[in-house]
A and B are shown apart, each in its own frame.
Chain A
């Protein structure tokens, strides 16, 4: 709290019942709701388009019917999109699950050490790690392709797992460090008194209380790796690529400029992250907040 605020609160008289604004502000409130609903509709317009178009057959292709509901509802687009995208969705899962778990684990190790072990230059180390979060990956892409060749790991799933692990470290470290700084010192010191070393303390005291943070980190990593397109487009082909690459190919398909299929595909590609958002919204937002450095 600022000094000014403290001053203000210092000689505060006894609490008074909060002022009731009803009546006087009802016009303002109506306007506010109108504005909120207006923006709600605007935000949802693409969803309407996506759903409606995905159910349209080719007979609805006339531009004059663009915004109308389908004349005949059909699931054909959905079926086509699913058969095209299903293998890629499987590959995405195979990338996203292990990479999220590994980068979360590494982040928790780093976060623990950096929040509890002060050594000269610890801040610099932390800042150097954080900078990895902000670099444009374009600035490492060319030598990265060479490095991947040199390591000899196949493109597609294995390479993408590795890249999401490595470039996930900065954000996971940040989230865990911020979390461990809020854990009471005594809890961790207790272990130390009993003679436990750092590794032991981490394993038996810190790790078990890290679960809430793990949930946030895993959701964050899951979402960003699922939605990644940049690494995917550089390090996979249409045969071994994740769903973003497959969807992009589907949508840019030369033979069919069939928006219905593309839109059904876009829905399939978004469903997992949307489900995470709907079911675990609180943790999803937690990840978003941690991304803002100060947390």
Chain B
């Protein structure tokens, strides 16, 4: 007994602070949030305890999902995710592919492509709000003015003020910011491929293109999956950029994460919690299988 304690004691002691903190702050709070989302806690009065909240089960979820307003947010989220994912994957892969072989100036390109990653969304939002100014023609500034200068007037548009596709304008700065990250992941992937593989393929008379197509690209699929997971889960949480480019309550660009903030600001805790749970469920559907798979692979 004492022996066992001596064996198990120290490691448990070392893990304990983190396990307790995460138990409370992650799992405990997820449970508490879910409980709140099942109540009718929609006003400040209830929040201060003047009126006890009543359990209404899944009413909030049903109402939210049925409302045109929230459906618009979900639609925005889908649009944003698709554009953001495709944009960063294509740019990131292209850059990595071009920089994969040692060449002059490689370090400069890599550093510049990656640097936006070091900047906060709030700071880059300041610049992008200017660039995505919706004024056109005489009043145009930002990208609309730039399009005029280079003679591409037709490209002028009202950016994030478009009700249906405005959210795509927010995806542009997001792509600007994270393509470099995806590039770095793919570059690491390229560099991780053993040199012998290339040599061997060349020996067998494979052309450069065939070498990539049949030998190198297939080796990159784990990297591509990691990148998809990371960018995907970031896009589901999109908040900072929208807050700093448009306004939080703006219908055109709202997504669930912003709705959650707006509900919270008006003391509608039940709906805010419900939106949070919906986001968690979406993330879990993507992440849990990935974590389980990664875990299983490591064991092998």
- Report whether B120 and A244 are in contact in the complex, using a CB–CB cutoff of 8 Å: yes
Q: Which residues of A sit under 8 angstroms from B131, Cβ to Cβ?
A: 45-46, 49
B200 touches A12 (CB 8 A): yes
Q: A7 to nearest B CB, angstroms?
A: 9
Q: Please tell me if the beta carbons of A12 and B199 are within 8 angstroms of each other in the complex.
A: yes
Q: Tell me, yes or no, whether B295 is within 8 Å of chain A by CB.
A: yes
Query: Within the assembled complex, what's the spacing in Å between the Cα atoms of A137 and B95?
Result: 32
Of all A-B residue pairs in the complex, the 3 with the closest CB atoms, nearest first, are A227-B120, A143-B32, A139-B280
Residues of B within 8 A of A (CB): 6, 8, 10-11, 13-15, 17-19, 21-22, 24-30, 32-33, 36, 91, 95, 98-99, 105, 108-109, 111-131, 135, 138-142, 145-146, 149, 176, 180-181, 184-185, 188, 194, 196-197, 199-204, 222-223, 226-227, 229-230, 233, 236-237, 239-240, 243-244, 247, 256-257, 260-261, 264, 269, 272-273, 275-277, 279-280, 283, 287-288, 290-292, 294-295, 298-299
A69 within 8 A of B: no
The verdict on A82 contacting chain B, using a C-beta distance below 8 Å, is: no
What residues on B are CB-neighbors of A46 within 8 Å? 116, 124, 127-128, 131, 176
Q: Is the CB of A288 within 8 A of B109?
A: no
CA distance A266 to B119 in the complex (A): 9
Contact assessment for B119 and A229 in the assembled complex, using a CB-CB cutoff below 8 Å: no
**How far apart are the CA atoms of A66 and B199 in the complex, in Å?**
53
Across the interface, B196 reaches (CB within 8 A) one of A9, A39, A50, namely: A9
User: Considering the chains assembled together, what is the distance between the CA atoms of A93 and B115 in angstroms?
Assistant: 21
Nearest-CB residue, chain A, relative to B10: A198
Asked whether A113 is an interface residue with its Cβ less than 8 Å from the other chain, the reply is yes
Residue in A131, A170, A274 whose CB lies within 8 Å of B115: A274
CA distance A55 to B288 in the complex (A): 49
Q: How far, in Å, is B274 (CB) from chain A's closest CB?
A: 10
Residues of B within 8 A of A139 (CB): 30, 33, 276-277, 279-280
**Known: A46-B124, A106-B18, A136-B279. Contact between A292 and B118, CB under 8 A?**
no
B126 touches A265 (CB 8 A): yes
Given the complex, which residues of A lie within 8 Å of B32, measured CB to CB? 142-143, 146
A289 near B184: Cβ-Cβ < 8 Å: yes
**Bound complex: CA A37 to CA B291 (Å):** 38
A142 engages B202 (CB within 8 Å) = no
Bound together, the chains give a CA A211 to CA B20 distance in angstroms of: 26
Q: Given A39-B113, A289-B188, are A8 and B98 also a contact pair (CB < 8 Å)?
A: no
A43 to B123, CA, bound (A): 15
Contact yes or no, B29 A147, CB < 8 A: yes
